[in-house]
Amino acid sequence: MAKKIIKSLPDMAKARNRVDLPTVKIDEVMVTTRVAKFAQGRRYLIKTFGCQANIRDEEIMAGYLEKAGFTRTEDEKAANLVIVNTCAVRENAEEKVLGEIGKYKANHAKDKSFVMCVCGCMMQEEGVAEKIVATYPYVNLIFGTHNVSNLLDLLDEHLEKNKDLIDVISYPGDIVENLPSSRLDPYKAFVNITYGCDKFCTYCIVPYTRGRERSRAKEDIIAECKELVEAGYQEITLLGQNVNSYGKDFKDGTSFADILEEVAKLGIPRLRFMTSHPWDFDDKMIDTIAKYPNIMHFIHLPVQSGSDEVLRRMGRRYDKKAYLDLVAKIRAKIPDCAISTDIIVGFPDETDADFEETLDVCRKVGYFSAFTFIYSPRKGTPAAVMKDDVDAKTKHERFVRLVATIEESVSAKANAMVGHTYAVLVDGPSKKDSDLLSGYTETNKLVHFKAPTYLKGHIVDVKIDESHTYSLIGTLVGDPLSYMAKDIAKCLGEEEVVKAYFAAKKAFDEDLSLKEINAKISAKQKEMMDFSAKNDTDNYEKAKAEYLKAKQSYDGHPLVNNLLAAQDDLEPLLKEVEARLK
Ligand code: 5AD
Ligand code: SF4
């Protein structure tokens, strides 16, 4: 179609390339006058499918659009620019995506300047972009995971030439820093530490759609996390397809444990990470998690299968024993660590015996939670061409048995929480019942409880009353206002003037010469009273002179003056607190 400009199309062979080195680019975030003019008064909506990497891409695209002047809307009908951010991990995600694109036909019919974009992992698959433009002629921009930072350039070109563009690059991928970002949550943030994946598990499309494994520089990650801590974020999740690989590409000995430790030291109340590969989960990582109380005792450790033969064909690089040994090692050092997993059933030619091994792992580990999937062949991956004699019915039966087995441990662990109190980071009103709030425990368990909405974003104590296997019902422990007071105290405690005041007060309280002077002042005051009662003028005058001398040395004492100066500095802050509390 003449209206379309195909700048580049994906190529799975090129996507395997791990030879070229990545470059680090600093984005200047340029907004052309054309784009800025177009953005005026227009609203954008982004629909994201898939994993946290896609959610983070959504935040970055939202950052670009807001820099240009667009505002966010959740109302599909009111949107002037829509981005469908796709996932390619399993086939059913694709079906949902196609249905989603279909929804916006009416927007295009109503508004000729409406811009429809499709991006993400699915676009990186060969043939998909062509299929989409053939089915949905109102799609204006198609791009992939490697050129999210070109969003505004593509939009500019589309507006300038009045043409639709397809630009999906298949290359190992670069690292772009200084990305704009409009975060979806004011308390919980995702921070990318690695991009892409080099593991090439035989069933997985990710190494092709997201390119080579590449680590962000430590300073860039720390700077981003520091900003989040300063902005009051309560939780950071370090993200990577395989976080354990962090730093291996630097070839200088940097490891994931190093970055985990450095971020933990920044003082974020909750630190999480995902996903970990069981193959290179080293002791240093376990020790670091055990050492820092703000690193959550929750590890997502995908096992995928319990059968050594299936694991070998999946290219997972560990066997059942190695996985169970790792779990035992984690539990020995972090006894209360919750472990969750991903499991695929129905991998090509999986036998009953293979499947029983998977159930055995589930029983032995006792997962706290799990994501379970039926194997879905992905075109271009090695597993897609493997012989598979297992019928769909058997796969489905295994899936049902797997879910039931996992539920046994999930429910036992949840039941064991009843009667105990846990720290919960409050997300806001519960989706289940707006009279309740909901939040997550350190082990990622969803809890609903009654409490005032102003506790959103706070970490509060909740006593668990009931278990509903996948969620819990509890009661807030303590006075809700006390959590706010603690917060004010914490904020104030971090202010330099408050710190200076407490230091001056401590020096004042502990100084022995001042203690002596104060004792003298009190003694002479008492003598003055006694002599005055006896009408003994001479001695009264003598006591008075000594009192005045002591008072003078008190007033001129440097520690007294320091304290007074610190009090003066503190006063405006106290006035501000008073004003805010009114
Ligand atoms: N079929 C089914 N599940 C898959 N996953 C990845 N690729 C496939 C596939 N082709 C699952 C794995 C992975 C999770 C994110 O998705 O369990 O850990
Ligand atoms: Fe896919 Fe394996 Fe990489 Fe995970 S580690 S993203 S399953 S290839």
Ligand 2 centroid to residue 201 C-alpha, Å: 6
| pLDDT, tens digit, 9 for 90 and up, residues 70-79 | 999 999 999 9
Determine if ligand 1 sits within 6 Å of the CB of residue 376: yes
Q: Which domains does the chain possess?
A: 4-171 (3.40.50.12160), 184-408 (3.80.30.20), 421-485 (2.40.50.140), 495-581 (1.20.1500.10)
**Closest ligand to 240 CA?**
2
pTM, two decimals, is 0.85
User: In the numeric block, which tokens belong to residue 379?
Assistant: 């075109």
Residue closest to 256 by CA, chosen among 286, 236, 229, 226: 286
Buried b (16+ CB within 10 A) or exposed e, 261-276: bebbeeebbbbbbbbb
How far is it, in rounded angstroms, from Cα 401 to Cα 345? 10
Q: Could you tell me how far CA 177 lies from the centroid of its own chain?
A: 18
**Closest ligand to 276 CA?**
2
Q: What pLDDT shows up at residue 580?
A: 66
User: In the numeric block, which tokens belong to residue 80?
Assistant: 């002037």
> pLDDT above 70 covers what percent of the chain?
99
* Best of 195, 241, 280, 347 for a ligand 2 pocket test (most atoms within 8 Å of beta carbon): 241
Q: What pLDDT shows up at residue 581?
A: 63
Determine if ligand 1 sits within 6 Å of the CB of residue 370: no
3-state helix/strand/coil string of 8-65: ECCCHHHHCCCCCCCCEEECCCCCCHHHHHHHCCCEEEEEECCCHHHHHHHHHHHHHH
Q: Residue 381 CA: which ligand 1 atom is closest? A: 10
Amino acid residing at 70: F
Q: What pLDDT shows up at residue 496?
A: 83
User: In the numeric block, which tokens belong to residue 409?
Assistant: 């441990």
Ligand 2 centroid to residue 542 C-alpha, Å: 89
Q: Residue 376 CA: which ligand 1 atom is closest? A: 1
Cα-Cα-Cα-Cα dihedral of 417, 422, 426, 432, to 10°? 20
* Length of the chain counted residue by residue: 582
* Best of 18, 51, 90, 206 for a ligand 2 pocket test (most atoms within 8 Å of beta carbon): 206
Q: What pLDDT shows up at residue 492?
A: 77
**Tokens 């030619």 map to which residue?**
349
Q: What pLDDT shows up at residue 2?
A: 42
Sign of the torsion formed by the C-alpha atoms of 168, 124, 43 and 58? negative
Burial of 332 (0-12, 13-18, 19+ CB in 10 A): exposed
Determine if ligand 2 sits within 6 Å of the CB of residue 204: yes
Cβ partners under 8 Å of residue 179, min gap 6: 27, 60, 63, 149
| pLDDT, tens digit, 9 for 90 and up, residues 495-508 | 788 888 989 999 99
Average pLDDT of every residue of the chain: 94
Q: Residue 302 CA: which ligand 1 atom is closest? A: 18
Low-confidence ranges of the chain (pLDDT < 70): 1-2, 494, 580-582
How far is it, in rounded angstroms, from Cα 306 to Cα 314? 11
**H-helix segments, 266-342:** 283-291, 308-314, 320-333
Q: What pLDDT shows up at residue 344?
A: 98
* Best of 204, 310, 347, 369 for a ligand 1 pocket test (most atoms within 8 Å of beta carbon): 204
